[in-house]
Structure 1
Amino acid sequence: MQDDYNQPQKNWWNRNWKWFIPTGCLSIIILFVLFLVGVFFEVTSIIKDSDAYIESMELVQHNKILIEKLGSPIETDGMVSGTVSAVNDVRKCDVQVPLKGPKGKATLFVVGEKRGKWKYSEMSVYIEKTDEKIDLLKKE
C-alpha cells in the first residue's frame, strides 16, 4: 500500500481551477453588464436634464388636445432615446420620448438646435391609437 504522505501536494491552482474559472468569467460578465447599465443611465439622465426635454415635456403636460386624447397625467413610459450633443456653444437634440396617459400611449419627437435660445424644427406627438400627429409648435 502506498503512503499518502509521500504524495506531492497539489498547488492552489490545481485544487481550485474548477470553480475559479467559471466564477472569474461570471464576475467579468457581471462587471461588464453593470458598466453598460451605468452608461445607459448616465446617457438617459443627460437627455432628461436637457433644456429641450424639460421644455417639451412642459408643453406636453399642458397641451389641451393631448390631455383630451391621452388623459391626465401624461408621463414618460419607458426608455428615452436619441441624442443631445454640444459643440462649442451650439447644442443639438434629436430625442424620442415614449409617453402614456390613462387613455393611451404616444411618442414625443423633439428635434432642435440651440444657439443662445432653442429653435425647434420638430416638436410633435404621435398617438398610436388614433394614428394622429399633433404638432406642439403650433399654437392651440
Structure 2
Amino acid sequence: MPEIFNLLRCESLEPCEWNQSEWENVADPDLKPGLRSVRDPRYLLRPEAIESVFLMYRMTGKSEYQEMAWRMFQAIRKATETDLAFSAIQSVKVTDTVKDDSMESFWLSETLRYFFLIFSSPDLINLDEFVFNTEAHPLRRPVPFTDES
C-alpha cells in the first residue's frame, strides 16, 4: 500500500455497499477500486499491514490470514528485493518499481518479525501472556496482584 492514501468514504458503521459510479466520479481512475487518491505513493517496508493480518490470524485462527500474509510477502519481495537486501520503492502505482536504495530498520525488526510469527506456532509468543510494544517487541503481561500472592 502507499504511504499516504484516501479511501472512498463510508458514512455508516455497518459495511457499505460498493458504489461503482461514486468511485468513478471522485477517484483517480488509475487507482484500484476503493482508493480515492494517493498523496504519497512510496512503500517504505512498513509493518502495519502485516501486523494487522498477524493479529487477525491470532484472534481468529483462520488460515485465510496466513494465505493473505504469504501473498503479501511474495508481492513485497517481488517489488522490493535487491541483490543485497530489500529497498523502499518510489511508487506502488507503477508496475516497474523504482527502488530508493534505502531500507528502514523497521523492515528487519518489525515487518519480518510479524511475517515470521504468523507462520510460527501460536504458543511461541502467546498473546494471552504477551503484548507487543510499538516496535514489535514482546513484553510479558504482568500477573495481577492478589491478596494470596
Give the TM-score band, short-chain normalised: under 0.3
Structure number with greater CO (CA < 8 Å, separation at least 6) is 2
Pick the structure with greater CA Rg: 1
Q: Which has the higher strand share?
A: 1
Q: Which has the higher helix share?
A: 1
